[in-house]
Amino acid sequence: MEPFPSVFSFSDRIQLPRNMIENSMFEEEPDVVDLAKEPCLHPLEPDEVEYEPRSSRLLVRGLGEHEIDDDEEDYESSAKLLGMSFMNRSSGLRNNMSVYRQNPNGSCSVPSTRTMVVCTVVLVIAVSLIMAIYLLPKCTFSKEGCHKKNHTMELIYPLATNGKLFPWAKIRLPPDVVPLHYDLVLQPNLTTLKFAGSVKIVVNIVHVTWKIVLHSSGLNITKATITSAGGHQAKPVEFLEYPLHDQIAVMAPEALLVGQNYTVNIEYSSNLSDTYYGFYKISYKDENSKQRWFAATQFEPLAARSAFPCFDEPAFKATFLIKIKRDEKLSTLSNMPKKATTPVTNGIVQDEFFVSLKMSTYLVAFVVADLKNISRETNGSLVSVYAIPQHLNQVGYALNTAVKLLEFYQKYFFINYPLEKLDLVAIPDFQSGAMENWGLITFRETTLLFDSNTSSARDKKLITAVIAHELAHQWFGNLVTMEWWNDLWLNEGFATFMEYFAMEEIFPELHSDEDLLNLIFKAMMKDSLNSSHPVSSAVQSSEQIEEMFDALSYIKGASLLLMLKHYLTKDVFQAGIEVYLHNHNYGSARSDDLWDSMNEITNGTLDVKKLMKTWILHKGFPLVTVVRKGKNISVQQEKFLYRVEPENWTSDASYLWHIPLTYITSSCNFTHCTNAYLLDQKSAVIELPEEVEWIKFNVDMNGYYIVHYAEDWKTLIDLLKKNHTALSPKDRANLINNIFNLAGLGKESLEKAFELIDYLNKESSTAPLTQALFQLSLIYSLLEKKGEQQLAARVMHRIEHLLGDKIDQQRWTDDGTLSERELRSTLLAFACTHNMRNCRTTATEMFEKWMKSNGTMSLPSDVMKAIFTAGAKSSNGWEFLLKTYSSSVSEAEKSKMIEALASTEDVRKLIWLMQNSLEGEVIRAQELSHIIATVSQSLPGYLLAWDFVKENWEKLTRKFHLGSYTIQNIISSSTSQFATKAHLLEVKSFFESKSEESSQLHCVKEAIDTIQLNIQWMERNLAKLQELL
């Protein structure tokens, strides 16, 4: 899945502790159900006697051999969950708690002899009881007395919706039963906006059991039966529902035997969802401005269960036969090609699709809508791009791009794309950037549709990148799937890595490697906070799983693979990937499986698993300090970490990464002269063959670490001033990023950072210019929001001094290479936003001409955003943009209009814009996070955005789901500008007042870390800035 927008927000979370309750808290509690006294219940298998994570709320009674974890859950919340009431303890004990009494003068008197004797007797009795309980052989104690050793420990399970015991308490499904095949029949009604369904699931029994536990969410189940493999008679069964875990249990009338297959048949109905999850509804206007309905799916990570009962975990792969009943005027698509269409009743037909390959439930997909397409065949597969009819003329670029990428991946992986068709569908309202459903990839319209009149160079790059990402998933994620969500990076990190690798190979003119560089810089900002998490992190709850879709899984994951590829060499890396895909195709994998595959190729010359485990199992990244003395280069590693709260900071000083260092020197600075050294100790000395004038580590930023050059910064600053092209554009961007980060850490002075970027008036490459602009904009924003307007203006003056000539050189056209065009978009949008040079005057003149033509005049697409932003400053211009937005058929144009509308300084308009987008009337809710991020950038907007988030928190989390990428982005963008203790307290208090799930989100902790960091940065640098500027 591709999150949206393409610039990641910084957010994640940590796993909740495991918890359970001891029986002493429930002594003689009448509401507690005693399983040993309930003969009507199904027998409990021994493997069910397990302790549970917090959210499962499993309560355990009994002592003895069964030890209880010590990090347990607050018992009261668990008991409330099970509908239990607590008995108050006798107050008599409390009245006699202390044997010591206080004298009037405040001192304690010595206890009496009688008291001492009583205490000694009580202590002896207590010790004797404990020894009896723990030392009596073959005995487990409960309130009934001593039971035989093998007697199943008493358990209290959660209550199902009908008040009966639900026979499973874990979030993860039991391993007793595995699905083999699904027959799914659906009938969505786009008039009533409901759907009916039935599913037949063929399951295989791994362990003898009386129950089949699977997932179901929000489905109204009307009937459930079970049929044995040899039997013809479907037997009605009882089913229980436990909505807290989205689980149902089908209770078999007899034991289900190992090795046997059974068919579970379930009939149900539900409403089409009004969120972006599950089987959801979308309204749009057709060519005649008439409202039409569209139904589509988004199942990753946990929403297949809301469209059909299923085993909704990635490792439970099965085959699927899907049939959809629809209005004959509409069309349907699913993962597989259509097999047949048959009439059902008047005006209703049924489409049947071929049986799928073995796949995970989150990859199942179907669309019911009025769609048009264009197609082309390649290597035996038909590639098609679908859109609503009025957008059909914008799908050509996507088709050409998809065909080229599909051919490239098949050659690179040495595995053919296994399906006969690949559909790419533009969905009018879609939360993510795209979703990789096998054979039916769904996209937001802006990431698939290219309009030659209104799509910019940046739009073309975005579309190419998202298609490349989703096609890479057809192998990484679909063919080989991570076993559980803790290893989501295996899907997303790989797809991101392949996205940029493929673009460099096939579309070198797009310079996509510069985009990856900027994303890595931003991921490192997130990863440098104490609230970060390892790339591979234990997750259980839905919020934890949702939060794994973040910059660390995607960008850090991709960066680590990039580092490994350069260290192993591209041929060895490619061979390792081939082994991994072949060894695990149509199955599931863990991180270790990837490293084992790489080790098969390195064959003992390098332990890839040992190397890479130091990176994926630990949060953060190293800071490497370099000291040069003659031919000897001393290198030392430590953890790079912003210490925002020293009292809560956990030191990782002893932690060692195995760092594949790379470096170039003045004696040879071409790519083929790159040297490598594996730093697997705290420090080491590298001896060069000769003395050199300068040395630059982390060549082209291919390693995931920051370098501090100590005394050598001056040498590198002089090099940039005299001959900046001695280093590559990526190396120059890397130096800018590193020195500003070190200044933030207090390891280097801000003065030196400003000195380093003094060379920029000679710079012409996009990567270093973009990075410098990013770093200076961060400082400007903090000063502006802190009320330091004069100092902020001086920062802007410094930017103008460095980049003013470059801004003046930009032409208001679409000429030049794609890289030059993209730089033009960035510089002119920035200059117009900050009223620099004569940018806003030129843009306003062009906007007025466009407005006079009633929006028919053609504008250069690369500078369209700058023109719209200038035009939206006036009330008339803003109103005209909004009106044109509503009637535009170009999604690329509408995207630029949204950003311009959100850049106004009119407070009422900003509030209306956010509110309207949340309601999804004129502006779709898919745009909301982008609107909030844009509003947050301006001085009048940043407080409004935060107020809007606070006031609409419940609506936001209902629409977008707690922990989702959108919620992460909204929290990050609406709080990242704060730099005062009052705002810190307000943000903390707000989230503490919400549910525990909200306050424990990684992105909330990260927002708090960021504000603390901003406060610290201002305290450290405000006075210095006043001197510098």
330, 365 in Cβ contact below 8 A?
A: no
For CA atoms 118, 124, 127, 132, the dihedral sign is negative
Active site residue 470: yes
How far apart, in whole angstroms, are the C-alpha atoms of residue 615 and residue 619? 8
- Token pair 């974890």 is at which residue? 69
CA 136 → CA 132, 139, 548, distances in Å?
6, 6, 47
CB 172 within 8 A of CB 311: no
Cα 367 to Cα 187, 333, 424, 478, distances in angstroms: 12, 5, 11, 19
CA dist list (Å): 265 to 170, 363, 550, 766: 24, 22, 37, 59
DSSP string, 369-416: E--EEEEEEETTEEEEEEE-GGGGGG-HHHHHHHHHHHHHHHHHHT--
Sign of the dihedral through C-alpha 984, 990, 996, 999: negative
Active-site hit among 313, 470, 492, 891: 470
228 - beta bridge partners? 262
* 769 three-state secondary structure: helix
CB-based contact 252:261 (threshold 8 Å) = no
**Interatomic CA distance for residues 602 and 530, integer angstroms:** 35
Q: Give the start-end residues of each E strand in 674-756.
A: 675-679, 683-687, 695-697, 706-708
Distance of CA 28 to the CA centre of its chain: 46
How would you class 32 by CB atoms within 10 Å of its CB: exposed for 0-12, middle for 13-18, buried for 19 or more?
A: middle
Decide: 297 and 367 in contact? Cβ < 8 Å: yes
Is the peptide bond between 111 and the residue preceding it cis, with omega within 30 degrees of 0? no
Q: For helices 1002-1028 and 766-785, give the axis angle rounded to 10 degrees.
A: 90
Facing residues of 248 across strands? 214, 241
SS3 of residue 223 by DSSP:
strand
Phi/psi for 384 (5° steps) reads: -130, 145
Rounded CA separation 161/148 (Å): 34
Q: Are 509 and 444 in contact (CB under 8 A)?
A: no
DSSP-derived 3-state class of residue 917: helix
Q: Where are the beta strands (DSSP E) in 1-117?
A: 59-60
- For 982, the enclosing helix (H) or strand (E) is helix 981-992
Q: Is 932 exposed, middle or buried (0-12, 13-18, 19+ CB in 10 A)?
A: buried
Please give the structure tokens belonging to residue 979. Answer: 């730099």
Q: Are 253 and 202 in contact (CB under 8 A)?
A: no
Residues annotated as part of the active site: 470
